Amino acid sequence: MKPFKSTVHATLHNVAARVPTYEEVRERRARKTTGIIGKIVVFAILLVYAVALMLPFYVLFVTSITPYEELMGSMSFIWWPEEVTWDAFVPFITTDNLLASEIGVPILHGFLNTLWSTLLTTIVSLFVSGLAAYCYSKIRFKGKEVLFMIEIATMMIPMATMTVPSLIYYEALGWTFSWFPILIPGMFGSATTIFFLRSYMASIPNETIEAAKIDRLGPFRIFLRIVLPQAVPAFIAQFIFAFVGGYNNYMGPLLYLSDDPQHYTLQLVITELRIFYNQPGQVCASCLIALVPLIIVYIVFQRFFIEGISVGGGKE
């Protein structure tokens, strides 16, 4: 109301600019100062929160470079060790260590196990999901809506609660204590990924696909040559998300791979170090080695992380 009134006033009396009243000036000044104070307070709170979130990483680092004797003899936190040691990182590259010599290979082996198993499942799953998503979005066939409804409904089944009872099923298949329960079920694609990719692929123009059909390209080739290249950002978003889930998976390897040190994934190696060898420095060093690659991947691809998470993401 106020600005309207003032313009009417101004035009009626033909005054160039209305002079603000004393009260108005005071109010505006007050608002400006509370604005600045407010901004500082907001920034300070966020800064404190950020420091609190990053503190555990500092603790990890310092503990991993502190000698075992100094740590065990201490009754308070060591902010910086008297004598820096890098011993805790050695077993990752040599077998000169209890756990590593038991496995017969450096602990880095666990990292490789995690890497190949996660990459294999994730890539196959993405490919299968991508094909299904392409069919749902670009090919007409009878019963498509019903099948898609069923596919979406599967998202609602909380299979995570059935991880332990599934043991008897995999035992019947003869798969317990093998890689199969970790690898195979994940290879059949995921409903969330299909859902995400389908909506992304819907935006690919039909004309390019029609043109490819006239060139007598089959549906599989159309997928490989036209749809896949155009949906790369969506694939990356889903890939990163699935990869992080597989990389961090704890319960699956715990149930199926924990009997044979050769099969240990990175996460299992860390738990072994903690439970059976109780070397805090080595536990912290291995945590750091597990975390750093993922954090680097995250910082490089953080845009894709956010995209993947906002569309029905969330880890198991």
Partner 1 sequence: MEKFASHGLTPDLHAKKRVDGEKIFAYICVCIPLFGFTMFSVVPLLISLISTFTTMEYYDLNTMTWNNFETFKVVLSDDDFWKSLLVTLMLSMSQLISLIVALFISFLLSKKPRGRKIFQILFFIPYICSSVATAYMWMTMFDPNYGIINSVLVAIFGESARVSWTADPAAYVAAIIITTVWQAPGYGIVMYKAAFDAVNPSLYEASDIDGASAWKKFWRITFPSIAPTTFYLLMTGIIAGLQTFDIAKLFASWSADSWTGTAGPDNIGLTTVFYIYREGTLYYNIPAASVASWGLFLVILTLSLINYKLRKRWVNV
Closer Cβ to partner 1, 1 or 16, answer by number:
1
Q: x/- string (CB under 8 A) for partner 1, residues 206-235?
A: -------x--x-xxx---------------
Write out the binding residues for partner 1, residues 43-82 only, by CB under 8 A: 43, 45-46, 49-50, 52-57, 59-60, 63, 71-72, 74-78
Closer Cβ to partner 1, 59 or 84, answer by number:
59
Q: Is 192 within 8 Å of 237 (Cβ atoms)? A: no
Closer Cβ to partner 1, 16 or 156, answer by number:
156
Q: Is 242 within 8 Å of 193 (Cβ atoms)? A: yes
Write out the binding residues for partner 1, residues 2-41 only, by CB under 8 A: 2, 38-39
Write out the binding residues for partner 1, residues 244-273 only, by CB under 8 A: 244, 247-248, 250-251, 254-255, 267, 270-271
Binding piece for partner 1, criterion CB under 8 A, among 16-24, 87-95, 159-167, 199-207: 159-167
Closer Cβ to partner 1, 104 or 218, answer by number:
218
Task: Give the shortest CB-50-to-partner 1 separation in angstroms.
Answer: 5
DSSP readout, 91-151?
GGTSS-SHHHHHHTS-THHHHHHHHHHHHHHHHHHHHHHHHHHHHHHH---TTHHHHHHHH
Write out the binding residues for partner 1, residues 166-185 only, by CB under 8 A: 166-169, 171-172, 176, 184-185
For position 85 contacting partner 1 by CB under 8 A, the verdict is no
Structure tokens at 227: 């749809």
For position 280 contacting partner 1 by CB under 8 A, the verdict is yes
Task: Give the shortest CB-37-to-partner 1 separation in angstroms.
Answer: 12
For position 285 contacting partner 1 by CB under 8 A, the verdict is no
Number of residues that bind partner 1 (CB under 8 A): 98
**Collapsed DSSP state (helix, strand, coil) of residue 245:** helix
Closer Cβ to partner 1, 106 or 253, answer by number:
253
Q: x/- string (CB under 8 A) for partner 1, residues 108-147?
A: --------------------xx-xx-xxx--x-xx-x--x
Question: From CA 134, how far away is CA 201, in angstroms rounded?
Answer: 7
Structure tokens at 79: 């902010």
Give me the residue label for tokens 């294999």.
120
Question: From CA 209, how far away is CA 124, in angstroms rounded?
Answer: 24
For position 294 contacting partner 1 by CB under 8 A, the verdict is yes
- Out of 17, 156, 215, 259, name the contact with partner 1 by CB under 8 A: 156
Binding piece for partner 1, criterion CB under 8 A, among 10-18, 95-103, 104-112, 284-292: 284-292
First to last CA, the chain: 53
Binding piece for partner 1, criterion CB under 8 A, among 14-22, 104-112, 115-123, 306-314: 306-314
Q: Is 142 within 8 Å of 217 (Cβ atoms)? A: no
- The alpha-helical segments, DSSP class H, found in the chain are 2-13, 22-64, 68-72, 98-103, 108-138, 144-154, 166-173, 180-183, 191-201, 206-214, 219-222, 228-230, 232-248, 251-256, 266-272, 280-300, 302-310
Closer Cβ to partner 1, 14 or 310, answer by number:
310
Which has the closest alpha carbon to 252: 172, 184, 189?
184
